Amino acid sequence: MISDVHSNLEALKAVLEEIEKDDISLVVNLGDLVGYNANPKECVDLVQKRKIISILGNHDRAATELKFAEGFNILAYQALVWSSKTLSKGHKKYLSSLEHTRVLWDRYLLFHGAPENPESYVFYLFQAKKVFNYMRKKTPGVRIGFFGHTHHRAVWKRDIRGKVSKVEIPEEQLVLDAEQMYIINPGSVGQPRQQQWKASYLVFTNEPETISFRSVAYDVQSAQSKIREAHLPDYLAQRLEAGV
Ligand SMILES: [Fe+2]
Q: How far is the CA of 179 from the centre of ligand 1 (A)?
A: 31
157 CA → ligand 1 middle, Å: 23
* Cα 191 to Cα 35, 106, 118, 148, 236, distances in angstroms: 10, 30, 18, 12, 9
The Å distance, Cα 103 to ligand 1 centre, comes to 21
pLDDT at residue 133 above 90?
Answer: yes
User: In DSSP terms, which residues pair with 56 in a beta bridge?
Assistant: none
Condensed to tens digits (0 to 9), the pLDDT of residues 214-232 reads 999 999 999 999 999 999 9
9-242: what fold?
Answer: Purple Acid Phosphatase; chain A, domain 2 (3.60.21)
- The whole-angstrom separation of Cα 233 and Cα 153 is 26
Nearest to 31 by CA among 66, 62, 68, 6: 6
Read off the pLDDT of residues 5-41 as tens digits, 9 standing for 90 and up.
999 999 999 999 999 998 898 999 999 999 999 999 9
Q: How confident is the model at residue 127 (pLDDT cuts 50, 70, 90)?
A: very high
Instruction: Return d(Cα 71, Cα 212) in angstroms, integer.
Output: 34
234-242 and 220-229 helices, crossing angle to 10°: 170
Distance CA 62, CA 95 (A): 10
* 235 contact partners, CB below 8 Å, separation of at least 6: 75
Quick one: average pLDDT of 114-142? 96
**Nearest Cα to 14, choosing from 219, 244, 237?**
219
Per-domain residue ranges for the chain?
9-242
Distance 35 CA to ligand 1 centre (A): 8
pLDDT, tens only, 43-86: 999 999 999 999 999 999 999 999 999 999 999 999 999 999 99
Q: Give distance in angstroms: CA of 180 to centre of ligand 1.
A: 27
For 83-100, write each residue's pLDDT tens digit: 999 999 999 999 999 999
pLDDT band with cut points at 50, 70 and 90 for residue 191: very high
**70 C-alpha to center of ligand 1: Å?**
15
Contact, 23 vs 207, CB < 8 A? no
Length of the chain counted residue by residue: 244
pLDDT, tens digit, 9 for 90 and up, residues 141-157: 999 999 999 999 999 99
Question: What is the Å distance from ligand 1's center to 24 Cα?
Answer: 24
Percent of the chain with pLDDT over 70: 100
**102 pLDDT exceeds 90?**
yes
Residue 116 pLDDT greater than 90, yes or no = no
Q: State yes or no: pLDDT of 118 exceeds 90.
A: no
Q: What separation in Å is there between the alpha carbon of 160 and the centre of ligand 1?
A: 32
Separation of 22 CA from ligand 1 center, angstroms? 26
Tell how far the Cα of 12 is from the centroid of ligand 1, in angstroms: 14
CA of 8 to the centre of ligand 1 (A): 12
- Taking the centre of ligand 1 as the mean of its atom positions, its distance from the CA of residue 72, in whole angstroms, is 11
pLDDT band at 186 (very low <50, low <70, confident <90, very high): very high
